[in-house]
A = this chain, B = another copy of it.
Amino acid sequence: MARIVMKFGGTSMAGIERIRTVAERVRREWAEGHDVAVVVSAMAGETDRLVNFCREASSLYDPKEYDVVVSAGEQITSGLLAIALQAAGVPARSWLGWQLPIRTSDGHASARIGDIDTAALNASLANREVAVIPGFQGVAPGERVTTLGRGGSDTSAVAMAAAMKADRCDIYTDVDGVYTTDPRIVPRARKLKRVTYEEMLELASVGAKVLQTRSVGLAMKEGVRVRVLSSFDDAHNADGYRGTLIVGEEEIDTMERQLITGIAHDKNEAKVTLTEVPDRPGAVGAIFGPLATGGINVDMIVQNVAHSSGSTDVTFTVPKADLARALDILEREKAAIGFNRLVHDPRIAKISVVGVGMRSHAGVAATMFQTLGDRGINVQAITTSEIKVSVLIEEDYTELAVRVLHTAYGLDAEEVD
Contact B69 A84 (CB under 8 A): no
| Cβ distance A404 to chain B, nearest Cβ, rounded Å | 49
Structural contact, A83 and B99, CB atoms closer than 8 A: no
Q: A66 and B54: CB pair below 8 A?
A: no
What 1/0 flags go to A18-56 for Cβ under 8 Å of B?
011000000000000000000000000000001001101
What count of chain A residues pass the 8 Å CB interface test? 39
Per the bound structure, the CA–CA distance linking A69 and B53 in Å amounts to: 19
Report how far A111 CA is from B68 CA in the complex, Å. Answer: 23
Q: Kindly identify which residue among B54, B65, B82 contacts A93, using a CB–CB cutoff of 8 Å.
A: B65
**Which among A20, A53, A67 has the greatest number of chain B C-beta atoms within 10 A?**
A53
* Contact yes or no, A83 B66, CB < 8 A: yes
Stretch at the interface among A71-79, A220-228, A394-402: A71-79
Q: Are A69 and B65 in contact (CB under 8 A)?
A: no
Partner of A68, one of B60, B79, B86: B79
C-alpha gap A107/B53 in the complex (Å):
32
Instruction: Say yes or no for A343: interface residue by CB 8 A criterion.
Output: no
A1 sits at the interface (CB 8 A) = no
Asked whether any CB of chain B lies closer than 8 Å to the CB of A252, the reply is no
Q: Which residue of chain B has its CB nearest to the CB of A58?
A: B87
> Which residues from B are CB-within-8-Å of A20?
57
How distant is the Cα of A75 from the Cα of B134 in the complex, in angstroms?
A: 15
List A residues 69-110 near B (Cβ within 8 Å). 69, 71-73, 75-76, 78-80, 82-84, 86-87, 93-94, 96, 98-99
Least distance between A89 CB and chain B CB atoms (Å): 11
Partner of A86, one of B56, B58, B79: B58
Chain B residues, Cβ within 8 Å of A99: 143-144
Pair A69/B75 contact, Cβ less than 8 Å: yes
Chain B residue nearest to A98 in the complex (CB) = B98
- Of B60, B72, B83, the contact of A57 (CB 8 Å cutoff): B83
Report whether A58 and B83 are in contact in the complex, using a CB–CB cutoff of 8 Å: yes
State whether the Cβ of A336 lies closer than 8 Å to any Cβ in chain B. no
Given A65-B93, A65-B94, A76-B69, answer yes or no on A16-B57 (Cβ-Cβ < 8 Å).
yes
Contacting residues, chain B, for A78 (C-beta < 8 A): 68
Asked if A65 and B79 sit within 8 Å, CB to CB, the answer is: yes
Q: Which residue of B lies closest to A49 (CB)?
A: B76
Complex CA–CA separation, A54 to B19 (angstroms):
11
Contact A54 B83 (CB under 8 A): yes
A168 is an interface residue with CB less than 8 A from chain B: no
Does A64 touch B at the CB level, under 8 Å? yes
Q: Is the Cβ of A76 less than 8 Å from the Cβ of B53?
A: yes
In the complex, A50 Cα to B73 Cα: how many Å? 11
Q: Are A87 and B16 in contact (CB under 8 A)?
A: no
Kindly name the residue among A50, A53, A79, A84 whose own CB sees the greatest number of chain B CB atoms within 10 A: A79
Contact of A64 with B87 at beta-carbon distance under 8 Å, contacts A19-B57, A53-B76, A76-B72 already known: no
**Residues B93 and A145 in contact, CB atoms below 8 Å apart:** no
Cα A93 to Cα B93 in complex, Å, equals 29
What is the distance, in angstroms, from A1's C-beta to the closest C-beta of chain B?
A: 26
Write out the residue numbers on chain B whose beta carbons fall within 8 Å of the beta carbon of A386. none
Please, how many angstroms separate the alpha-carbon atoms of A33 and B165 in the complex?
A: 54
Contact in complex: A16, B56 (CB < 8 Å): yes
Chain B residues with CB under 8 Å of A62's CB are 82-83, 86
Measured CB to CB, the closest approach of chain B to A51, in angstroms, equals 11
Distance between A219 CB and nearest chain B CB, rounded to angstroms: 28
10 nearest CB pairs, A to B: A68-B79, A69-B79, A58-B87, A72-B72, A16-B56, A57-B83, A65-B79, A65-B82, A61-B83, A57-B84
11 A-B residue pairings within 8 Å (CB atoms)? A16-B53, A53-B80, A54-B79, A54-B80, A57-B80, A61-B87, A65-B80, A65-B93, A66-B83, A72-B73, A72-B75
Given A65-B93, A72-B76, 8 new contacts (CB under 8 A): A19-B57, A61-B83, A65-B79, A68-B76, A68-B79, A72-B75, A96-B145, A99-B144
